[in-house]
Amino acid sequence: MREFSLGLRIRKRLFKVFKSHETIETLIGYENPTLVNEIVKKTLIRSQQIKNGEPLEISEVRILLGMPSISSPSLVVVDFGGGAGTHFDVFSSIYPDIDFHYFIIETPEMVRAASSNRSNDTNLYFLTLEELDQLPGAIDLLVANSSLQYSKSPIETLTALCELAPKSLWITRFPLNDKEDSITIRQVSKLEDNGPGRQRVASNQFVEYESKIVSMIEFERELEKRFKVTMKVVEERNPYGSDYQSINSYGFLAKIKK
């Protein structure tokens, strides 16, 4: 759902521009229809590019690190915060012989827009967090790429996802605080920096949303109640700049405890 990754200098410049232009329209949150429609439009363009055999971006193949050992011609994948389905397109292009049953958990606005625009994609489904009971009973892989931090409560969301008992869990691009306290950070980005691919839009609009950073200790304690971590990766140090030295972005690959 989230392709927000800017260098510190660019982030500082965006914050300065945002503060100095009060008349610039700001889109608040991921439920904003303009933002949702832009992400869906860019996803459809990128989907066709991938189907046409265009090279994948390194940021797109990151999601494949969670792919379990292939032992079945059919896999059930749940993607929390998967936007309009770019990860589904990547999985399908790399593993064309696997029959994916792919479920994306998203905001109600994204579910509405994506479901309408991707109705012809076989085995691709969109559900809200309140519709988890509609998921299959057996899930092979659950992925969350830069999404937990944008939920109302990352720990409560993690708990709900863990209760689905997927065989494997891959959480990536997830910022955590090395200290014990939680921090809420306001992020501001250009509209064109959201969504997959390199397509640009003729807009000076900005997007504003909150990132909730929880402590590493609290997160790992909750995760390890039901899962065994098999790989832990530091993916980016200080993604929010020098003002937040204790925050780093991590990836966790975990297996369900038997």
In tens, the pLDDT along 180-226 reads 999 999 988 888 888 887 776 666 788 888 999 999 999 999 999 99
**Position 9 pLDDT exceeds 90:** no
> CB of 41 within 8 A of CB of 200?
no
Using CA atoms of 254, 59, 91, 82 in order, give the dihedral in degrees to the nearest 10: 70
**Position 4 pLDDT exceeds 60:** no
pLDDT of residue 70: 65
**Position 17 pLDDT exceeds 80:** no
Q: Which residue has the higher pLDDT, 21 or 52?
A: 52
**Position 13 pLDDT exceeds 50:** no
pLDDT of residue 206: 86
DSSP at 147:
-
DSSP per position, 53-73: TPPPPHHHHGGGGGPPP---S
Output the pTM of the full model: 0.87
Q: 8-256: what fold?
A: Rossmann fold (3.40.50)
In tens, the pLDDT along 50-91 reads 999 999 999 999 999 998 766 689 999 999 999 999 999 999
19 pLDDT tier (thresholds 50, 70, 90): very low
Which of 128, 63, 126 minimizes the C-alpha distance to 92?
Answer: 63
Integer Cα distance of 192 and 35 in angstroms: 9
Q: How is the chain split into domains, by residue range?
A: 8-256
Sequence-distant (≥ 6) Cβ neighbours of residue 28 within 8 angstroms:
208, 209
Q: Kindly state the average pLDDT of the residues 234-255.
A: 95
Least confident of 15-19, 113-117, 151-155, 211-215: 15-19
**Position 23 pLDDT exceeds 90:** no
